[in-house]
């Protein structure tokens, strides 16, 4: 594999990891991360030789998930950063990677929720109290769930099945 082919995958992985870490530590996902993922997609598609039709379907998948994310945001199920990250990652997944992405994201979200429920159960309270501010925030019984972590896990796990992953890894 040439370095040029590897670079888009590194950019995608780096941005999704940063998004997950940022969400876990501050409950925010900066807009620049989703915008960078969107801006990098055409370059990755060009480098991977993704055809116009497949790229168009990827765009429709991304737009579809943006609408779904907006609805979930309006219902207060997810934060705005989560909705935007979900759509930006879906753009990279395209048709072949969307099912593994959504399934893995859902499973990771369930595991994350169970882990946070355990963390918030009270028996770890003395250890949490002495931890950094972001750990105390995660341990807050009334705290939110940083779903960007689950989205990042799902995106990284599904990347080999994505339209970009298939184009650059094969």
CA distance 149 to 159: 15
Domain residue spans in the chain? Answer: 1-169
Q: What is the 3-state secondary structure (H, E, C) of 65-134?
A: HHHHHHHHHHCCCCCHHHHHHHHHHHHHHHHHHHHHHHHHHHHHHHHHHHHHHHHCCCCCHHHHHCCCHH
CA distance 25 to 12: 20
CA distance 106 to 7: 28
Angle between helices 148-158 and 80-119 (to 10 degrees): 100
> pTM of the entire structure?
0.92
Q: What pLDDT score was predicted for residue 138?
A: 86
Q: What pLDDT score was predicted for residue 1?
A: 55
Q: What pLDDT score was predicted for residue 119?
A: 84
CA 6 to chain centre: 20
CA distance 104 to 34: 19
Q: What pLDDT score was predicted for residue 170?
A: 78
**Long-range contacts formed by 127-136: CB under 8 A, 24+ apart:** 134/24, 134/25, 134/26
Phi first, then psi, for residue 130 (nearest 5°) are -90, 0
Judge whether 135 and 25 are in contact, CB under 8 Å: no
**Along the 170 residues of the chain, how does pLDDT read in single tens digits?**
577 788 999 999 999 999 999 999 999 999 999 999 999 999 999 999 999 999 999 999 999 999 999 999 999 999 999 999 999 999 999 999 999 999 999 999 999 999 888 888 877 777 787 788 888 888 888 888 999 999 999 999 999 999 999 999 87
């Amino acid at each position: 594999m040439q370095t040029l082919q590897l670079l888009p995958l590194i950019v995608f992985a780096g941005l999704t990891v940063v998004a997950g870490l940022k969400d876990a530590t501050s409950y925010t996902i900066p807009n620049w991360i989703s915008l960078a993922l969107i801006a990098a997609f055409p370059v990755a598609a060009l480098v991977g030789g993704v055809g116009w039709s497949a790229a168009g379907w990827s765009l429709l998948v991304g737009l579809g998930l943006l609408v779904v994310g907006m609805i979930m945001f309006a219902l207060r199920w997810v934060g705005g950063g989560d909705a935007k990250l979900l759509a930006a990652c879906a753009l990279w997944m395209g048709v072949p990677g969307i099912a593994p992405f959504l399934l893995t994201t859902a499973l990771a979200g369930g595991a994350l929720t169970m882990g946070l429920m355990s963390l918030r159960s009270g028996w770890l309270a003395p250890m949490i109290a002495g931890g950094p501010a972001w750990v105390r925030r995660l341990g807050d019984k009334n705290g939110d769930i940083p779903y960007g972590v689950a989205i990042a896990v799902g995106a990284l796990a599904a990347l080999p099945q994505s339209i970009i992953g298939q184009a650059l890894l094969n």
